[in-house]
Amino acid sequence: MSGSGNLGELSIEEASRLLAARQLSSRELTEACLQRIEETEPKVGSFLEVTADLARQQADEADRRLATPGDAAPLTGIPIALKDIFLTKGVRTTCASRILENFTPAFDATVVARLRRAGAVLLGKVNMDEFAMGSSCENSSMKLTRNPWKLDRVPGGSSGGSAACVAAHQALGSFGTDTGGSIRLPAAFCGVAGIKPTYGRVSRYGVIAFASSLDQVGPMATTTRGAAMLLAAVAGKDPLDSTSIDAPVPDYAGLVGPRPEVKDLRVGIPREYFVEGLDADVETAVRAAIGKLQDLGATIVEVTLPHTQYAVAAYYIVATAEASSNLGRYDGVRYGRRRGEEQGLREMYGETRDQGFGAEVKRRIMLGTYVLSAGYYEAYYSKAMRVRTLIRRDFEQAFAGCDVIATPTAPVTAFEIGSRTDDPLKMYLSDILTISVNLAGLPGMSIPCGLDSAGLPIGLQLIGKPLDELTVLRAAAAYEDSGHWQRTSAELRA
Ligand code: GLN
pLDDT one-digit tens code per residue, 291-312: 999 999 999 999 999 999 999 9
pLDDT of residue 276: 79
- What distance in angstroms lies between residue 22's CA and the mean position of ligand 1's atoms? 41
Q: In whole angstroms, give the CA distance from residue 354 to residue 349.
A: 8
Task: Band the pLDDT of 46: cuts 50, 70, 90.
Answer: very high
- Phi, psi dihedrals of residue 54, rounded to the nearest 5°: -60, -45
Task: Band the pLDDT of 27: cuts 50, 70, 90.
Answer: very high
State the virtual CA torsion across 181, 109, 118, 173 in degrees, nearest 10: 30
Question: In terms of DSSP bridges, do strands 47-50 and 121-126 run parallel, antiparallel, or are they unpaired?
Answer: antiparallel
Average pLDDT over residues 369-385: 94
pLDDT of residue 424: 87
Residues forming beta bridges with residue 404, ordered by sequence position: 267, 464
Nearest-atom number in ligand 1 for the CA of 181 is 8
pTM (whole model) above 0.85: yes
pLDDT of residue 487: 47
Average pLDDT over residues 385-405: 98
Q: Per-residue pLDDT for 486 more than 70?
A: no
- What distance in angstroms lies between residue 157's CA and the mean position of ligand 1's atoms? 7
Domain with CATH 3.90.1300.10 in the chain: 7-306+396-482
Average pLDDT over residues 403-431: 94
Cβ–Cβ under 8 Å, residues 177 and 83: yes
Nearest-atom number in ligand 1 for the CA of 182 is 8
Long-range contacts of 231-234 (CB under 8 A, 24+ apart): 231/195, 231/197, 231/202, 231/469, 232/74, 233/73, 233/74, 233/75, 233/114, 233/115, 233/118, 233/120, 234/110, 234/111, 234/114, 234/115, 234/175, 234/202, 234/203
3-class SS at 269? strand
- What distance in angstroms lies between residue 298's CA and the mean position of ligand 1's atoms? 32
pLDDT one-digit tens code per residue, 158-195: 999 999 999 999 999 999 999 999 999 999 999 999 99
Cβ–Cβ under 8 Å, residues 58 and 121: yes
Nearest-atom number in ligand 1 for the CA of 438 is 8
Q: In whole angstroms, give the CA distance from residue 84 to residue 131.
A: 9
- What distance in angstroms lies between residue 435's CA and the mean position of ligand 1's atoms? 8
Cβ–Cβ under 8 Å, residues 253 and 228: yes
Average pLDDT over residues 15-27: 97
Average pLDDT over residues 384-409: 98
- What distance in angstroms lies between residue 63's CA and the mean position of ligand 1's atoms? 38
Q: Annotated catalytic sites, by residue?
A: 83, 158, 182
Report the pocket of ligand 1 as residue ranges, CB < 6 Å: 132-135, 158, 178-182, 210, 319, 431
Mean pLDDT lowest for which of 71-75, 97-101, 402-406, 420-424? 420-424
Tell me the pLDDT of the chain averaged across its residues. 94
Pocket-testing residue among 95, 128, 130, 133, ligand 1, by greatest number of atoms within 8 A of Cβ: 133
Q: In whole angstroms, give the CA distance from residue 187 to residue 415.
A: 14
For the chain, what is the largest distance between any 2 Cα atoms, rounded to a whole number of angstroms?
A: 70
pLDDT of residue 335: 84
pLDDT of residue 5: 53
pLDDT of residue 80: 98
DSSP letter, residue 382: I
Which one has a higher pLDDT value, 338 or 187? Answer: 187
Please tell me the residue having the least CA distance from ligand 1 atom 10: 133
% of the chain beyond a pLDDT of 90: 87
Q: Which CATH architecture has domain 7-306+396-482?
A: Alpha-Beta Complex (3.90)
Q: Per-residue pLDDT for 92 more than 80?
A: yes
Question: In terms of DSSP bridges, do strands 121-126 and 299-303 run parallel, antiparallel, or are they unpaired?
Answer: unpaired
Q: Per-residue pLDDT for 4 more than 80?
A: no
Average pLDDT over residues 406-434: 93
Q: In whole angstroms, give the CA distance from residue 418 to residue 361.
A: 18
Nearest-atom number in ligand 1 for the CA of 177 is 9
Please tell me the residue having the least CA distance from ligand 1 atom 4: 134
pLDDT of residue 337: 80
Pocket-testing residue among 95, 130, 131, 135, ligand 1, by greatest number of atoms within 8 A of Cβ: 135
Q: Closest Cα to residue 14, out of 329, 225, 303, 292? A: 225
pLDDT of residue 45: 98
Omega into 135 within 30° of 0, i.e. cis?
no
pLDDT one-digit tens code per residue, 194-218: 999 999 999 999 999 999 999 999 9
